[in-house]
Chains A and B, each alone.
Chain A
């Protein structure tokens, strides 16, 4: 029994200066590039031994074999053809459906379940007491899902190739269809990892997983439609030119943005509580917002103003969700985060990218302001200069109303959020943690939408010809459905303004607390000693 003294590999000494770190990082890059992600290695080793993966793959192959066999034995079999003329196309579509369905069901469930079990409160996830970073951990999990998907796809390759021999389908069309399915499965895997990382109870995670699965099941329809169209017309039949390539590139940019947001979001959720989790999330969301803007501007150039308004609505919805999530952040900044606060004027923009509900709310409002501003500018200025033929019309009245409605929705969500903050500050702070504020705002919104209908039903005024709009004030869904939203918008803005005034102290406290931490003079060494009578060094948080 002899453990030879290993090399002292790690030191607790303070970090070297930034230039030194950059040089070290640059020199270590080749090594990093050739080093396999430890989590990827572990996951793949486990997957190879996993009965679940092996059974799933065997089942997939079996179903594909049976389908191909049956199709070949019955040349005139009535596969739901939906306009697919040749048997090759029909069998390829069937194969692709089986493959996509199988991958969508098995792989995200496998990856998500494994991560959720590792992160479960009852289980000591020792991965997170190693020096592995949250980025590496999540990247490894996603990469393992990607490799598993490639493995599943490769098992289907022989059947896919067989359809080529049956004619009616060409290799580029097959590859494009497979790429679309592959990207969709990868998105589902990343979404499953996000759900698995959510720090919530098992029941909540299961519900969230079901909701996410529902979203992806709904999302299959457009994907299938695109694939059918692709198979019907063929890759060459789509008439791909520069314009189509730009649209495809724009869509890929949007996809990359969504994936990046999900990736960063899941990583932030497993970061240490003392880290600045908001920075990567808000930076990535801002970048994804910019990517989506470019995407929809390109689409608007080809299809008119519609996509731009759609983007405005979509961005508003996402920003509202981001605001509610930010509300649940802790007000207190850890010392390590405060030590990174920049000095001087940089402190002002930096505030938006640091932990804290006020920072999150202001960042959301700034992003919303930019969304509306850019939509208006794009419509007015570019339309005025006739930059694109489809934009030659000035903003129609309906578009103005749509943008105003977006503003009203944002104002409502903000007002509810501030009301939740007020309630928490006055009543709930003794019993509940800060992280419930976002949920409380959501609950208030639900009550605000439900209560007016209850009143209407109880008073029997639903069938009244002059059903008053005032009754529905505070109902965010009514704003989206009413034909005269001006009253709602006015009410929402007034309410938001009042709530801002009421919570001004909450804002002020956090803005004033946003100061760089300056380490205090180290205290005198204590006289306390260990059992071996060693003197105790002074404690400083910075090390």
Chain B
């Protein structure tokens, strides 16, 4: 399943909530959808999940337009919204059972499917509880269960980790990884970027309705950080190493900090490996060689301005 978002635009009055947003992801991908509040993430996700209509552009699931054929897309897509369901006087089991019926799953299939989803999302013990009596984390699991009830190929999750305790977050992360292994395409928006870096293999960064950066995490980081910071510690001949580094092409800002030599190197992982080979090959006794890892959070802070519309 390939999901392609192309030229999406949506305005609310004079505010351009989504302005020419295009990206693509597919089965097995977990794509992070990040951006400051008001960036247009939720609007984009609502359009993708056929809840909203774009002013312009389209979302295609394996080439089928979500704008033109929302009914067909709904069978292949599960959506977990940022707001929790307002369904009065309903138990967890009844809620899931209703959505199973709504997706046309009947008879024994429905009983089995609802049971499996309850088991998968650890809701079995809560099945007879009223929705209104659940905590936020439990409701979030119900939402995920509902989105999974028809075994969709694409999952769209809008801030699923918001308000969850650390344990629930870890559980959610594990659930998503299992789902990705089942070849589902997952788009997840979150403000907890460190967690996204751990589970996502791709990301889309938005601000003021526009996509600032998109692609695989490694590509984004590579594009966002053309230089990497490295610290080297040697047992002796520190001054010699300093001189060597100053004359090495691509190396910049060589400085001695305590016992370490801090440098800035142009390039990424291959260039780091080359530099280490050079230092070791020159006979230096390297006791420590550390490249400061850049994560999504660094990139996010670098390319966004925190502006809202």
Per the 8 Å Cβ criterion, residues 86-145 of B in contact with A are: 86-90, 94, 98-99, 101-106, 109, 113, 116-117, 119-120, 122, 130
- Would B102 and A543 count as touching, CB distance under 8 A? no
Residues in B neighbouring A9, C-beta threshold 8 A: 75, 104-105, 150-151
Q: Of residues B63, B106, B179, which shows the largest number of chain A Cβ atoms within 10 Å of its Cβ? A: B63
- Would B105 and A123 count as touching, CB distance under 8 A? no
B65 at the interface (CB under 8 A from A): yes
- Would A530 and B6 count as touching, CB distance under 8 A? no
A334 to B73: give the CA distance in the assembly, Å. 16
A182 to B79: give the CA distance in the assembly, Å. 40
A320 to B151: give the CA distance in the assembly, Å. 48
B197 at the interface (CB under 8 A from A): no
Residues in A neighbouring B98, C-beta threshold 8 A: 38, 41-42, 45
A276–chain B nearest beta-carbon distance, Å: 12
The interface bits of chain B over 163-196 (1 if a CB of A lies within 8 angstroms of the residue's CB, else 0) are: 0000000000011001100100000000000000
The chain B residue with its CB closest to the CB of A272 is B70
Residue of B25, B89, B151, B201 touching A50 (CB-CB under 8 A): B89
A2 at the interface (CB under 8 A from B): yes
Per the 8 Å Cβ criterion, residues 254-306 of B in contact with A are: none
**With contacts defined as CB atoms under 8 Å apart, how many contacts are there between chain A and chain B in the complex?**
165
A32–chain B nearest beta-carbon distance, Å: 10
B81–chain A nearest beta-carbon distance, Å: 4
A1 to B51: give the CA distance in the assembly, Å. 31
A221 at the interface (CB under 8 A from B): no
The interface bits of chain A over 513-543 (1 if a CB of B lies within 8 angstroms of the residue's CB, else 0) are: 0000000000000001111101011111101
- Would A124 and B51 count as touching, CB distance under 8 A? yes
- Would B85 and A539 count as touching, CB distance under 8 A? no
B58–chain A nearest beta-carbon distance, Å: 8
Residue of A10, A36, A50, A126 touching B85 (CB-CB under 8 A): A126
- At the interface with chain A, which of B26-34, B224-232, B236-244, B245-253? B26-34
A528 to B25: give the CA distance in the assembly, Å. 10
Per the 8 Å Cβ criterion, residues 41-55 of A in contact with B are: 41-42, 45-50
Residues in A neighbouring B65, C-beta threshold 8 A: 335, 539, 541, 543
B210 at the interface (CB under 8 A from A): no
A131 at the interface (CB under 8 A from B): yes
A532 to B219: give the CA distance in the assembly, Å. 12
Q: Interface of chain B, helix or strand or loop or mixed?
A: mixed
A48 to B175: give the CA distance in the assembly, Å. 34
- Would A531 and B90 count as touching, CB distance under 8 A? no
The interface bits of chain B over 64-79 (1 if a CB of A lies within 8 angstroms of the residue's CB, else 0) are: 1101111111111101
Known interface pairs A272-B70, A539-B60. Does A10 touch B76 (Cβ–Cβ under 8 Å)?
yes
The interface bits of chain A over 112-152 (1 if a CB of B lies within 8 angstroms of the residue's CB, else 0) are: 00000100001110111111110000000000000000000
Known interface pairs A130-B102, A133-B71, A541-B68. Does A532 touch B27 (Cβ–Cβ under 8 Å)?
yes
A395 to B43: give the CA distance in the assembly, Å. 62
Per the 8 Å Cβ criterion, residues 4-23 of A in contact with B are: 4-10, 12
- Would A543 and B69 count as touching, CB distance under 8 A? yes
Known interface pairs A2-B120, A274-B70. Does A49 touch B89 (Cβ–Cβ under 8 Å)?
yes
B9 at the interface (CB under 8 A from A): no
- Would B178 and A46 count as touching, CB distance under 8 A? no
A39 to B102: give the CA distance in the assembly, Å. 8
A540 to B106: give the CA distance in the assembly, Å. 33
Residue of B63, B64, B83 touching A123 (CB-CB under 8 A): B83
- Would B202 and A530 count as touching, CB distance under 8 A? yes
The chain A residue with its CB closest to the CB of B86 is A123
- Would B70 and A6 count as touching, CB distance under 8 A? no
Per the 8 Å Cβ criterion, residues 145-163 of B in contact with A are: 146, 148, 150-151
A145 to B64: give the CA distance in the assembly, Å. 37
- Would A46 and B90 count as touching, CB distance under 8 A? yes
Known interface pairs A6-B116, A10-B76, A536-B4. Does A530 touch B29 (Cβ–Cβ under 8 Å)?
yes
B216 at the interface (CB under 8 A from A): yes
A459 at the interface (CB under 8 A from B): no
Known interface pairs A1-B175, A3-B182. Does A539 touch B4 (Cβ–Cβ under 8 Å)?
yes
- Would B216 and A131 count as touching, CB distance under 8 A? no
A101–chain B nearest beta-carbon distance, Å: 25
A2 to B175: give the CA distance in the assembly, Å. 9
B50–chain A nearest beta-carbon distance, Å: 6
Residues in A neighbouring B88, C-beta threshold 8 A: 46, 50
- Would B2 and A537 count as touching, CB distance under 8 A? yes
Known interface pairs A3-B120, A123-B83. Does A274 touch B67 (Cβ–Cβ under 8 Å)?
yes
Q: Of residues A6, A50, A123, A334, which shows the largest number of chain B Cβ atoms within 10 Å of its Cβ? A: A6
Residues in A neighbouring B94, C-beta threshold 8 A: 42, 45
A47 to B90: give the CA distance in the assembly, Å. 10
A506 to B51: give the CA distance in the assembly, Å. 31
The interface bits of chain B over 26-63 (1 if a CB of A lies within 8 angstroms of the residue's CB, else 0) are: 11110100000000000000000111010000101111
A315–chain B nearest beta-carbon distance, Å: 34
A347 at the interface (CB under 8 A from B): no
- Would A129 and B50 count as touching, CB distance under 8 A? yes
- Would B89 and A543 count as touching, CB distance under 8 A? no
A529 to B73: give the CA distance in the assembly, Å. 21
B186–chain A nearest beta-carbon distance, Å: 11
Residues in A neighbouring B116, C-beta threshold 8 A: 3-4, 6
- Would B81 and A124 count as touching, CB distance under 8 A? yes
A308 to B59: give the CA distance in the assembly, Å. 53
- Would A1 and B174 count as touching, CB distance under 8 A? yes
Residues in B neighbouring A127, C-beta threshold 8 A: 102
Per the 8 Å Cβ criterion, residues 63-77 of A in contact with B are: none
- Can you list 25 residue pairs at the A/B interface with Cβ under 8 Å? A2-B120, A2-B178, A6-B113, A10-B76, A12-B76, A36-B101, A38-B101, A50-B88, A124-B85, A126-B146, A131-B75, A131-B104, A131-B150, A273-B53, A335-B68, A336-B68, A530-B202, A531-B31, A531-B201, A531-B217, A537-B62, A539-B60, A539-B63, A543-B62, A543-B63
